[in-house]
């Protein structure tokens, strides 16, 4: 079969490799759609290494069709998969924090992932309920985007974004766009977005932002204060993994505001935070890593029920043989979401 093999940082090639063989209880899927995540790009460029193997098949946003059945699934059934597989028994899993499980293994990391013609879903994942049967009207492309929406849902739950609140979102790439859509659904009173790319500023408005700000053309803090009567935002979400933005986010929140350092940062990067502002203004600063199976199921329902539109976010499509070109398109900033398809 064809697969995009990551042989080392900056070395991604489409190669012919043996098809995965099913052990008892495994599912084998024919990949139908896999989308490229910003984390995939960081892995490709060697900026993220945790759980990454060489050589391996990356890709954790995908959906497909069952070609080897197990666990109650049937041949030809349409399936999407929550990629992280928790152990289920550690203290974090027991306390409902399975995304922080120290024994976590994930498809697209420790286990070969979605940029391949066929994907093996281990029996453990099938047993744990990581595979989800898709409603008929949810497309394969939409199903691939359940995973990033689930991560966004986890992040907004961490800051408890609520009805009528003002949220400032830094960055309107794919993740920032999903944050806008979910914030609007949750009843945010005002959504402010900082984005230097003019095309993405327009996309932010179309996704539901009330105000978009070009941070290269003005002082972002002054702009946010002007839009909030001098108070600052109730919630600030850092949707781009740039350390300087983490520091900047502190100055955008009102007293007792909440700040989500949502985006992943490259290994070893540091940011200087205004600890006095955190202390005296009683700011809450939180991270948001990954997702749980509950987040995944909830996000699938949001898409299936038509409450969150993700279909319009797919701006570029490539076939599997063009996977390297697809990565370059995702990396150059012109695309919103890039899909790799397998007919």
Q: Which domains are present in the chain?
A: 2-145+310-341 (3.90.180.10), 150-287 (3.40.50.720)
The whole-model pTM stands at: 0.96
Q: Report helix, strand or coil for 277.
A: helix
Identify the segments of the chain with pLDDT beneath 50: none
What is the rounded distance in angstroms from the CA atom of residue 221 to the CA atom of residue 146?
33
What is the rounded distance in angstroms from the CA atom of residue 160 to the CA atom of residue 258?
9
What is the rounded distance in angstroms from the CA atom of residue 272 to the CA atom of residue 261?
13
167: cis peptide before it, omega within 30°? no
Give the per-residue pLDDT at 333.
Answer: 82
Spatial contact of 29 and 140, defined as CB atoms under 8 Å apart: no
Give the per-residue pLDDT at 292.
Answer: 97
Give the per-residue pLDDT at 268.
Answer: 77
Closest CA to 277 of 300, 257, 299: 257
What is the rounded distance in angstroms from the CA atom of residue 106 to the CA atom of residue 52?
10
Give the per-residue pLDDT at 86.
Answer: 97
Give the per-residue pLDDT at 264.
Answer: 86
Residue 211 pairs in a beta bridge with 192
Give the per-residue pLDDT at 267.
Answer: 77
Give the per-residue pLDDT at 266.
Answer: 78
229's CB contacts (< 8 A; 6+ apart) are: none
């Amino acid at each position: 079969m064809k697969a995009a093999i990551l042989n080392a940082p900056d070395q991604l090639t489409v190669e012919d490799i043996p098809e995965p063989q099913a052990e008892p209880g495994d599912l084998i899927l024919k990949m139908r759609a896999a989308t490229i995540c910003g984390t995939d790009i960081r892995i490709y460029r060697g900026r993220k290494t945790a759980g990454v193997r060489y050589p391996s098949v990356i890709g954790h946003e995908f959906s497909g069709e069952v070609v080897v059945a197990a666990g109650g699934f049937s041949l030809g059934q349409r399936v999407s998969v929550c990629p992280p597989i928790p152990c289920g028994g550690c203290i974090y899993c027991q306390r409902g924090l399975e995304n922080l499980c120290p024994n976590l293994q994930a498809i697209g990391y420790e286990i070969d992932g979605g940029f391949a013609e066929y994907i093996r879903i281990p029996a453990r994942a099938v047993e744990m309920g990581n595979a989800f049967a898709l409603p008929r009207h949810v497309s394969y492309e939409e199903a691939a985007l359940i995973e990033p929406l689930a991560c966004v849902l986890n992040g907004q739950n961490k800051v408890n974004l609520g009805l009528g609140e003002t949220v400032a979102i830094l960055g309107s790439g794919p993740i920032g766009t999903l944050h806008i859509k979910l914030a609007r659904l949750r009843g945010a009173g005002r959504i402010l977005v900082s984005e230097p790319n003019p095309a993405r500023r327009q996309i932010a408005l179309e996704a539901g932002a009330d105000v978009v700000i070009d941070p290269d053309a003005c002082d972002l803090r002054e702009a946010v204060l002007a839009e909030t009567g001098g108070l600052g935002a109730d919630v600030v979400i850092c949707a781009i993994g740039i350390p300087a933005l983490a520091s900047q986010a502190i100055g955008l929140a009102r007293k007792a505001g909440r700040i989500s350092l949502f985006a992943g940062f490259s290994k070893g990067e540091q940011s200087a935070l205004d600890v006095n502002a955190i202390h005296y203004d009683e700011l809450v600063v939180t991270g948001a890593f990954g997702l749980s199976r509950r987040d995944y199921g909830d996000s699938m329902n949001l898409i299936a029920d038509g409450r969150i539109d993700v279909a319009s976010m797919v701006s570029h499509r490539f076939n599997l043989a063009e996977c390297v070109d697809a990565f370059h398109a995702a990396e150059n900033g012109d695309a919103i979401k890039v899909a790799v398809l397998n007919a």
